[in-house]
Structure 1
Amino acid sequence: MANESISEQERHQREQILELDHEELLIEEVDDDSSDEDRHAIGSSSSGGLTFNTGLASLHTYLGNVEDTHHRDRVGFLEGGDIFSLPIFYLEGVVLFPEAILPLRVIEPNFIAAIERALTQVDDVSSSIIGVVRAHRNGNSGQRASFSSVGTTAEIRQYRRLDDGTLNIVTRGQHRFRLRRPYIDSEGVPCGEIQIIKEDLPLRTPIDALGDRLPLNKGSEENSDESFESSLSLTEKRVHQSAIVSCSEPENGGDSGLGLGKSSMSLSRTHSQHVNQSRRRFSRTFWPFWVYRMYDSYCLAQKASDMWKQIVGAPSMEGLVKKPDLLSFYIASKIPVSESTRQELLEIDGISYRLRREIELLESVNLIKCRHCQTVIARRSDMLAMSSDGPLGAYVNSHGFVHEVITLYRANDLTLVGVPVREYSWFPGYAWTITNCASCGNQMGWLFTATKKNLKPRLFWGIRSSEVSI
């Protein structure tokens, strides 16, 4: 039933796209001083006109009718430490994270053969899997590209073969990996020997570090401790016990109880009961509770989620607070920062460390500048979520180049090049125009203008994350 409802929803959205395609193209004069009404039209209902459906952009409908592949059976699952070889896509300006969506246009014959080979493999854990690694140039465009050492495996979820033999595919990130050895296979396809990175578990503050700061339930204090420990996995229980056992050992040796009389043993039992009753008031861990909370994955996840809601807004992160590992990757894939900073986030080992870095970035995100001349083109408050995935998303053009784009309600010091183009628009109902930095002439992205009279917002900007510094 779930699959039927999803397909019904997609059919309805595609009908909306066809309706937009039949409308007469209407391009108005570009005006940077768009009204606040246009800015807040996203996601709101309007009695006087149509507002843009942010779910359309995340479907990548410009790729056409793609066929699902995720229903195919998989022989096994990848685990941390696994080593194997697979085709590698080196993409400039792109950093793929686990669970993130990446669309691709596969044009070159050798890569087409590699994709088809991956799709037809049914007896291997790498079936329908490719690797994605960021390529970058430190100098001018003529300089030889360098490749990052950490990438992400991507499962081919949808594909479509066009009449000219090229492929449109939609992939989803799965596992981080380290690139051990890049090579070119006999068919001329870039491949690599990779090793899957083993991810850590979310860290939790030992309950004894909290002392009397935790609210007591109606049951006994000991039952509260037992309730806490019962919610932990086996590995988390071992970490929790190891954190408190060093400080809970008796100061005297193990023979201290030998030779005691009844009164002494009674005194010992009374002392033990007192210790149990005081365990919630005094920490048995080495560090105070606030130190542990600095690295508690769940506390950091809540803080990151709250900051995201305050600074960026959409999409909501509340549903992932109890899954700090997924939340850390999700924020990393959506946070509107430069590609080099996002690569830094991908290479961080440790959920808590990644979340702490993301919190720092959310606190510091303010000005969006041209990477080449440092001209300020926008502010944090100008960000606009034109996709249900948030203000940053990956899109592929008709020539196969993938761009990670930050969408903005307003931008400054940009010039337009050429005329608006309606074909192959990433945002159905909008035409795109190339835009350059007015100071240095660098190609920054595109201006998107509505092609339907009542579609809101009337215009917005899509800026390449690879061309900005934040």
Structure 2
Amino acid sequence: MCFRQFYSNIRLKCLQQQDDESVELVNRVSLNDNQHDRSLHAGSTVSSQDGFRNRFKLTYNIQLPSEHTYLGRLERVDSLELFEPGSIQHIPVTGHHSIVYPGETIPLILTNSLLDVDGRHESSRIGLVFWEYPYRQRIFGVVCQVRGKDVRDSIIVLKTVAQQRFELVPQQDGSLTRSVRREDRAHYYAQVKILPEILLPDPLTSFCASNMVKISHLNRNRLLAAQSSVWPKFVYDQYGSNDILCKVGRFLAFLQIESVPTADPVMLSFWLARNIPLSDSDRKELFFSNSVLTRMLLVNNILDDTCAFCCKKCDCRIANYTDMFAMSKQGVSISYCNPSGFVHETLTVYRTVEKTTRTTSKPSTDFSWFPGYSWQIAICNRCNNHIGWKYIATKRSNKPKKFYGLCGKSIRVASNRKLPDSEQNPLAKTDGSIVITQPPVQ
């Protein structure tokens, strides 16, 4: 189903009941062309956004998960300037099991002092290498800036922020990394080439007079500029960002995020890559592209489809696209670290499909990634694969009362275009309308 149809035409109807846990939000979406055209008007967009804000109220402080307080007290580390794009740098590196985009906060618990570069001075940067995701026989990764650290016995606890993409550069002996053994432990270092971020201007800018450049985003001036060029305006619109930003606005309203997280187009493209459900192939394509425009056009295509979240082991449908929501100010998909040092990319959803998951442990608040919530291990009912965690509020004021964190390593994203007809939308009706039951207010 088209993203525009799903989000622009959505009209929410709340059925008020005594128990707020059983309040049901029903949405009927018409798929006829006339209604689709009406949804493009600004008034429809505003009303739909108001409906999204009113469908469920989050009382939880979404700032808390992004602080990673479960790591304990960390010593603050001052920020450093970014590396020059195209430059070759020598930094300590460690492997990472998934792709990380710039702008994402990554907590790390390492078993050795990896930041002790050469025994004489300490680095405030670390490289995460994606060995499992080679691209055209090359290995890529991301430079992370250390923002907080604490050395405890034989481990070092870090709070880092991914900043710049890089490619590993072979050293003189042809190897990609160099190991140095110190205190019976191996430390790995690599030469990396910092990748550029190419941001192209609007192609119609060159046809605008100097006094029109600042307002060239206005539709009337774009039309005048296009009349002076070889191609009609709709050709240039396909390589512009206006339509994409409209879709992004509706996506943010759906997640109940008040505004675009960043005004920087480069970081916005990476934020969308982190928060839009992507297949492994789409994740690679978005990361390896140097062009911001290319990433945004890919995002534009991806936003045209809804999806489901399936168990990687047995392909059971675990959760629906409409159940996704942002429990953290950083978005719906955030990385958290367990006490063993394994980093879990975690997607938050209000609920899972009925009878697809069950819990196998008692509620615990130890090392909880969401302060004010206890957690239980959740597994797939069909194959017993670890699917994530169920969270239950320990404070009466916290809403939602419960939700799920799906583990990125355990689920895959399945586009509704690729699902069997019977699974594309189980709520589809024969009259052409679709009834979508939203998660209950908790």
- Normalising by the residue count of structure 2, what TM-score does the alignment of the two structures yield? 0.71
Inter-CA distance 227–306: structure 2 relative to 1 (3 Å threshold): same
Alpha-carbon contact 1:41-1:457 (below 8 Å) kept: no
Could you tell me which residue of structure 2 aligns to residue 280 of structure 1?
Answer: 224
CA distance in structure 2 between the aligned counterparts of 1:119 and 1:448, rounded to whole angstroms = 43
Tell me how far 1:90 sits from its aligned partner: 1.1
Residues 53-132 of structure 1 correspond to what in structure 2 (within 5 A)? 53-70=61-78, 74=80, 77-92=82-97, 94-107=98-111, 109=112, 112=113, 114-117=114-117, 121=121, 127-132=123-128
**Per-residue deviation, residues 170-224 of structure 1 (Å, max 9, x unmatched):** 1111111112232232222233221111221233131476xxxxxxxxxxxxxx7
Overall identity of the aligned pairs, in %? 28
Tell me how far 1:377 sits from its aligned partner: 1.1
1:460 and 2:403 matched? yes
CA distance in structure 1 between the aligned counterparts of 2:118 and 2:275, rounded to whole angstroms = 28
CA distance in structure 1 between the aligned counterparts of 2:55 and 2:179, rounded to whole angstroms = 47
Of residues 156, 161, 179 in structure 1, which corresponds to 2:146?
156
**Per-residue deviation, residues 365-411 of structure 1 (Å, max 9, x unmatched):** 32111122221111111012111111110100000000010001010
| Larger relative strand fraction | 2
1:418 and 2:361 matched? yes
1:184 and 2:127 matched? no
Alpha-carbon contact 2:133-2:139 (below 8 Å) kept: no
**Per-residue deviation, residues 287-343 of structure 1 (Å, max 9, x unmatched):** 2222122112x42552342242254443631752xx322210111122233455323
Alpha-carbon contact 1:158-1:170 (below 8 Å) kept: yes
Tell me how far 1:231 sits from its aligned partner: 8.3
Alpha-carbon contact 2:272-2:299 (below 8 Å) kept: yes
CA distance in structure 1 between the aligned counterparts of 2:345 and 2:238, rounded to whole angstroms = 32
Alpha-carbon contact 1:208-1:284 (below 8 Å) kept: no
CA distance in structure 2 between the aligned counterparts of 1:289 and 1:226, rounded to whole angstroms = 19
* RMSD over equivalenced CA pairs, Å: 3.2
Could you tell me which residue of structure 2 aligns to residue 175 of structure 1?
Answer: 164
1:435 and 2:372 matched? no
Tell me how far 1:345 sits from its aligned partner: 1.4
Could you tell me which residue of structure 2 aligns to residue 329 of structure 1?
Answer: 270
CA distance in structure 1 between the aligned counterparts of 2:87 and 2:105, rounded to whole angstroms = 23
Is 426-435 or 192-201 further displaced after alignment?
192-201
SS in 1 for 2:277: coil
CA distance in structure 2 between the aligned counterparts of 1:119 and 1:330, rounded to whole angstroms = 36
AA of the residue aligned to 1:106: L
AA of the residue aligned to 2:350: Y
CA distance in structure 1 between the aligned counterparts of 2:390 and 2:165, rounded to whole angstroms = 34
Alpha-carbon contact 1:42-1:386 (below 8 Å) kept: no
1:292 and 2:236 matched? yes
Residues 381-392 of structure 1 correspond to what in structure 2 (within 5 A)? 381-392=322-333
Alpha-carbon contact 1:150-1:346 (below 8 Å) kept: no
1:195 and 2:185 matched? no
Alpha-carbon contact 2:204-2:225 (below 8 Å) kept: no
AA of the residue aligned to 1:167: I
Inter-CA distance 466–341: structure 2 relative to 1 (3 Å threshold): farther
Q: How many residues align?
A: 350
- Normalising by the residue count of structure 1, what TM-score does the alignment of the two structures yield? 0.67
Tell me how far 1:454 sits from its aligned partner: 3.7
Is 78-87 or 306-315 further displaced after alignment?
306-315
Could you tell me which residue of structure 1 aligns to residue 313 of structure 2?
Answer: 372
Alpha-carbon contact 2:57-2:399 (below 8 Å) kept: no
Could you tell me which residue of structure 2 aligns to residue 144 of structure 1?
Answer: none
SS in 2 for 1:317: coil
Of residues 409, 428, 432 in structure 1, which corresponds to 2:350?
409
| Larger relative helix fraction | 1
CA distance in structure 1 between the aligned counterparts of 2:150 and 2:265, rounded to whole angstroms = 35
Inter-CA distance 399–103: structure 2 relative to 1 (3 Å threshold): same
Structure 1: gaps spanning 5 or more residues: 1-32, 46-50, 139-146, 210-223, 233-278
Alpha-carbon contact 2:363-2:375 (below 8 Å) kept: yes
SS in 2 for 1:189: strand
Tell me how far 1:135 sits from its aligned partner: 4.2
CA distance in structure 1 between the aligned counterparts of 2:272 and 2:100, rounded to whole angstroms = 12
AA of the residue aligned to 2:117: R
SS in 1 for 2:190: strand
Alpha-carbon contact 1:314-1:391 (below 8 Å) kept: no
Could you tell me which residue of structure 1 aligns to residue 394 of structure 2?
Answer: 451
SS in 2 for 1:341: helix
Could you tell me which residue of structure 1 aligns to residue 155 of structure 2?
Answer: 166
Could you tell me which residue of structure 2 aligns to residue 400 of structure 1?
Answer: 341
CA distance in structure 2 between the aligned counterparts of 1:229 and 1:316, rounded to whole angstroms = 25
Alpha-carbon contact 2:261-2:268 (below 8 Å) kept: no
AA of the residue aligned to 1:87: P
AA of the residue aligned to 1:416: T
SS in 2 for 1:363: coil
Indicate the structure (1 or 2) with the bigger Cα radius of gyration: 1
